[in-house]
Structure 1
């Protein structure tokens, strides 16, 4: 019995294609295909039906996948149980996060993990799409907003507040801003997912919808931050992306008692009996860093 063949087969089914499985396993597609073909030859049956567009399991394939996935899961848990008892974190740690979470934050997390645990290799996957942690072999995710998958473990580390920012120069030369309605007189840079016509601002006591003079609408917060820094207007930005600029005095929060949205931020990872040392170490470092940044 070749357990590698079974493991590759399970990953192909989980990933949905040979190419996706090959990327996750860091193997050539030809090697992945050969492993599955050898497994089928050894078993004397077809497990996967292959077409140009998709893969589908045969009836026998469904049975084999169900049992093989369960068996491999037990083996991984056994290895994790042993690894969790060791004092040294090591191995590849795969982390996914939203693309706009902030380069400085993610770089800081990666550097802290590497400095504290030099035997750990970190791979960052930055994407705005939903990543299936189990199917894609990802250890942990930084996620904002309401969580969709209740089968995962989530550790809340703070709240991402979307607020209004402008440069000190813009504040000096523009009309005073003392209440939300004053925004009608200002150049505003809007984040596209929040709409194109107005901002709805809230504080502890009220909620106000204000039509804005949106000269520019952008779907990337990095561009909005750059325009705000350049004095081009008031930008809607998450506070975690403006922390350094606010500390340095290069950005000023406009109407500091008001915000547009508040999203919970969580560290999310697959449910497992034993959390590996490398994952536990990352969770501790990331929780402390994000808590300081998000409050």
Structure 2
């Protein structure tokens, strides 16, 4: 019995693609296909139905996948249980985070992790997609907003508050602004995540939707921040990346009683019996770093 064949088969089913499984495993696609075919010959059954567009499990394939995936999961847990109590945290950790989390918060987290645990290698992927952590082989995710997957282990680390900011120079030359509806008289720097046609702001009592003219729409948070600093208008930014700008006088908060959004931020990872040392180390550092920035 070649357990590599079973492991490759399980990964192909999880990724729903030979080529995607090959990328995850670091193998040529031809090798992945050969190992699955060899497994089928050894068992004397067809496990996967292949077409040009998709893969589907046969009835026997479903049975084999169920048991093989469970068995491989137990083997990984066994290794994690052994390594959890020995040595320094080490190995590659795959992390995903939303693109709009901000460079400052991620750079600070990575710097602190590398200082504390230099033998942990990090593969960080920034994406707007809500990845399936198990299928994509991701160890841990930083997620903002309400969680969708109740099967994941989640640790809440704070609230990401998004509010209105501008430079003092812009406000000195612009019309007075006393309420959200007054934004119609201002240049608004629109971050794509908040919509192309309107902004919705709220305080503890009311919610106001302000139509936008779409004069400038950008899908990169860093660009919005720089434009705001340079007096090009009013932008919606997360408060945690604006603290240094406020202290240095580059930005001021506009309509401080109003905010655009307040998202809970969690660290999430797949449920497992034994948490590997590298994941535990990341969770400790990330929880401390993020809670300090988001709640400070």
**TM-score of the aligned structures, taking structure 2 as reference length:** 0.93
Are residues 287 and 74 of structure 1, via their aligned partners in 2, closer, same or farther at CA, if it must alter by over 3 Å? same
Match of 1:209 in 2: 209
* Offset from partner CA, 1:74-119 (integer Å, 9 cap, x none): 1111111112222410111000011121223222222222221122
Instruction: List per-residue Cα deviations over 1:225-272 (Å, max 9, x = no partner).
Output: 222122110011222343443343322211122101111111011111
Query: Is the CA contact (8 Å cut-off) linking 1:178 and 1:255 kept in structure 2?
Result: yes
| Contact persistence 1:186–1:213 (CA under 8 A) | no
Partner residue of 1:102? 102
Partner of 1:27: helix, strand, or coil? coil
C-alpha contact (below 8 Å) 2:102/2:221 kept by paired residues = no
> Is 1:53 paired with 2:53?
yes
- 1:126-182 Cα deviation digits (max 9, x unpaired): 111111001111110000111100000111111111111111211222223333333
Q: Unpaired segments of 5 or more residues in structure 2? A: none
User: Mapping of 1:212-227 within 5 angstroms?
Assistant: 212=212, 214-227=214-227
Residue of structure 2 equivalent to 1:290: 290
TM-score, normalised with respect to structure 1: 0.93
Specify whether residues 247 and 43 from structure 1 end up closer, same or farther in structure 2 by C-alpha distance, changes over 3 A only.
farther
Q: Are the counterparts in 2 of residues 155 and 267 from structure 1 also a CA contact under 8 Å?
A: yes
1:151-170 matched pairs, under 5 angstroms = 151-170=151-170
Instruction: Give 3-state SS (helix, strand or coil) of 1:190's partner.
Output: strand
- The two structures, once aligned, show a CA RMSD in angstroms of 1.8
Q: 1:255 — aligned with what? A: 255
1:196 deviation in Å? 3.6
Query: Where has structure 1 moved over 6 Å in runs of 4 or more?
Result: none
**Which SS does the other structure have where 2:163 is aligned?**
strand
Count how many residue pairs are aligned between Structure 1 and Structure 2.
295
Mark the runs of 5 or more structure 1 residues left unpaired by the alignment.
none
Match of residue 146 from structure 2: 146
How far apart, CA to CA, are the structure 2 residues paired with 1:24 and 1:243? 39
What is the match of residue 237 of structure 1?
Answer: 237
What residue number does 2:128 align with? 128
Q: Distance in 2 between matches of 1:130 and 1:103?
A: 19
Distance across 2 between alignment mates of 1:50 and 1:248: 61
> Is this contact kept in 2: 1:187–1:213, CA < 8 A?
no
Change (3 A) 1:86 1:267: same
Contact kept, 8 Å, 2:22 with 2:29, in 1: the verdict is yes
Q: Tell me what 1:279 maps to.
A: 279
Structure 1 residues 48 and 211, CA gap change in structure 2 (3 angstroms): closer
Within a 5 Å distance, the mapping from 1:16-27 to structure 2 comes to: 16-27=16-27
Inter-partner Cα distance in structure 2 for 1:213 and 1:40: 60
Give the 3-state SS of the residue equivalent to 2:150 in structure 1.
Answer: coil
Q: Which moved more, 1:220-229 or 1:164-173?
A: 220-229
| SS of structure 1 residue aligned to 2:92 | strand
